[in-house]
Amino acid sequence: MVVSPNLAHPEARRVRIPPHGLEGLLSVPDGASGIVVFAHGSGSSRLSPRNRRVADALGAEGLGTLLFDLLTETEADDRERVFDIPLLAERLLEATRWLRLDADTSERRVGYFGASTGAAAALVAATRSEHEIGAVVSRGGRPDLAGPLLAQVRAPTLLIVGSHDPVVLDLNRDALAALRCEKQLAIVPGATHLFEEAGTLDQVIELAGRWFCRHLGAEDDA
């Protein structure tokens, strides 16, 4: 995928996702075949600069995006809730149900992009959703926290890890072995956990974009 920075895509509109009124930013380009829902990691939010950069790039390629807070402000102050994977997965499911009722998104395929603990929540949600999840991408994620549910994931799953993030890389290798769906592990050379090194987040964008475009139906045949 070659990101096209000059390709116009709509400004994100503010939304609130029921039943908890979770704040979000939804962008849906004309003709978008899919919507990528972002699940941030612990200590982050819908305003995560890395996730917003990825979302902007996906939007430039014609994919819709939803960044939202998985917890209310009160819940986010409770460290146990921040790491409560079943709770975070349920919030993703609530967002998916809401997308199915929104006029702009009801007919579009849904994918999940999870970072850190959000990756585990995305994988768990993918096993429990009553709607088909078209693809999952994990960035520096902890898919291992999905536990035995990994074997139940059916959505094509891409795990992206930095080569200089050895502990997480080992955990992702174990998770890859447990997955029974279409799967891939992509290792970004020189990247640490947050992909702060020059050019490493660009590689995440490239990898994630190709995966979502392929599985959400937006692949450019050229």
List the one residue out of 15, 167, 184 whose CA is nearest residue 104: 15
* In-domain check, residue 5: no
Contact present, 143 and 120 (Cβ < 8 Å): yes
* In-domain check, residue 10: no
* In-domain check, residue 9: no
Taking only the tens of pLDDT, the chain with its 222 residues reads 433 333 445 678 999 999 999 999 999 999 998 999 999 876 666 878 888 999 999 999 999 999 999 998 888 888 778 789 999 999 999 999 999 998 889 999 999 999 999 999 999 999 999 999 999 999 999 999 999 999 999 999 999 999 999 999 999 999 999 999 999 999 999 999 999 999 999 999 999 999 999 999 854 433
Which amino acid is residue 122, in one-letter code?
A
Q: Which domain holds residue 142?
A: 19-215
Question: How many domains are there within the chain?
Answer: 1
How far apart CA 11 and CA 213 sit, in angstroms, is 20
* In-domain check, residue 14: no
How far apart CA 22 and CA 40 sit, in angstroms, is 14
- Under DSSP, the state recorded for 7 is S
* In-domain check, residue 205: yes
pTM of the model: 0.92
Tell me the CA distances in angstroms from 87 to 69, 90, 120, 165, 177, one per residue in order: 13, 5, 11, 27, 25
* In-domain check, residue 130: yes
Provide the strand spans (E) within the chain: 13-17, 22-27, 34-39, 64-68, 109-115, 133-139, 157-162, 183-188
CATH number of the domain that residue 158 is part of:
3.40.50.1820
How far apart CA 72 and CA 21 sit, in angstroms, is 8
* In-domain check, residue 86: yes
Residue 68 token pair: 């939202």
* In-domain check, residue 117: yes
